[in-house]
Amino acid sequence: MKSFNFIIKRKDVKTCARLGKVLTPHGCFETPAFMPVGTQATVKTLSPQELKDTGAQIVLSNAYHLYIRPGLEIIKKHKGLHRFMAWDGPILTDSGGYQVFSLARLRKITTEGATFNSHFDGRLIKFTPEKVIKAQEVIGSDIAMVFDECLAYPSPKSDVKKSVDLSINWAKRSKKAHKMKKQSLFGIVQGGMFLDLRKESLKRTVDIGFDGYAIGGLSVGEPNKLQYEIVSQIAPLLPVSQPRYLMGVGYPVDILQAVASGVDMFDCVVPTRFGRNGSAFTNNGIVVVRNGKYAKDMKPLDPRCECYTCKNFSRSYLRHLINCNEILGSRLVSYHNIYFFLSFMKKIRESINRGTFSIFKNNFLHKFDKKMR
């Protein structure tokens, strides 16, 4: 029996937002949830203990990157990714479909799988659905994703239709290959920006039957309005009793819109990527702390924030670190950003529980719609 379950604790009466909990072999996490991205077995610049201190309950890693480095044999020697990276909480692994699309050179996609050159050393690699599932079983994540194809925006409808058919074929093969009882497997809905193809992909994916469902193929350059339309139309059609995951979408305003449509899980590299570049998410919008105007600013990044960074360091000091390329600067701003995102998710959950989510959403969007990008 799988040690996986999804419990819906409360539903918002004015939107499709819902409060829940996902149980996995390595513990549970509350939803709506944001998963810090640990692509290569690390959330960049942060230790596992620091992640816990920020409030992280689950992290995401990536089968493509781990397959290339350090390789499956090394992870197997550690008896899985949890021990390898010293993280004892839940882990979700992406299958690598997006990375094949975005990073691989000279890729060739066929019904059998994807053949491509490694972005790291150029060696030729072939991924099939079966091979990707096996890799995720060796990694030992709590939640694995099927192998799928992600297309660029915009793509002709004929190409998207072929991609939907291919991804459904791969999803069936992924499920058939999946043997690890304690690991849950999520299906992925594709279909580009075409609602009819999205609905077709959704029906065919749900008919296969998975433990949860993701909406993939977004945040690939499409306008925000189009992204919101797709999510608002598709998310409520996904099975009510299973988790819904929006892949790779992670600005706070985008998360709020998706939560209102019934999405439960999110991931994005935005918090740590912005942190490494010296940009902080705050309760007053984004602060680009590397800018000269903060050279003598003695205030914390966010006076309303309770994180370690804001309790101990000034904007002036953080600017100094960032502009001197000191590693500590990237660490401290990234820590703050992860803390901000996870606190934001906690506020969302609290508002759903109190029945005030619509008020929280409208107030946030009114204040930050143009200030959080």
The DSSP symbol for 283 reads B
Neighbours of 258 (CB within 10 A): 27
3-state DSSP call for residue 24?
A: strand
Enumerate residues 6+ apart whose C-beta is below 8 A from 199. Answer: 191, 233, 234, 237
> Which sign, positive or negative, has the C-alpha torsion 231, 234, 237, 238?
negative
Catalytic residues: 94, 267
State how far the Cα of 210 lies from the Cα of 204, in Å rounded to an integer.
11
Residue with tokens 């499956």: 72
Q: How far from 346 is each of 33, 54, 96, 326, CA to CA, in Å?
A: 8, 11, 29, 31
3-state DSSP call for residue 148?
A: coil
Written as one letter, the residue type at 367 is: K
Is residue 14 within 8 Å of 356, Cβ to Cβ? Answer: no
State how far the Cα of 342 lies from the Cα of 303, in Å rounded to an integer.
17
CA dihedral 7, 12, 16, 20 (to 10 degrees): -20
Is residue 74 within 8 Å of 303, Cβ to Cβ? Answer: no
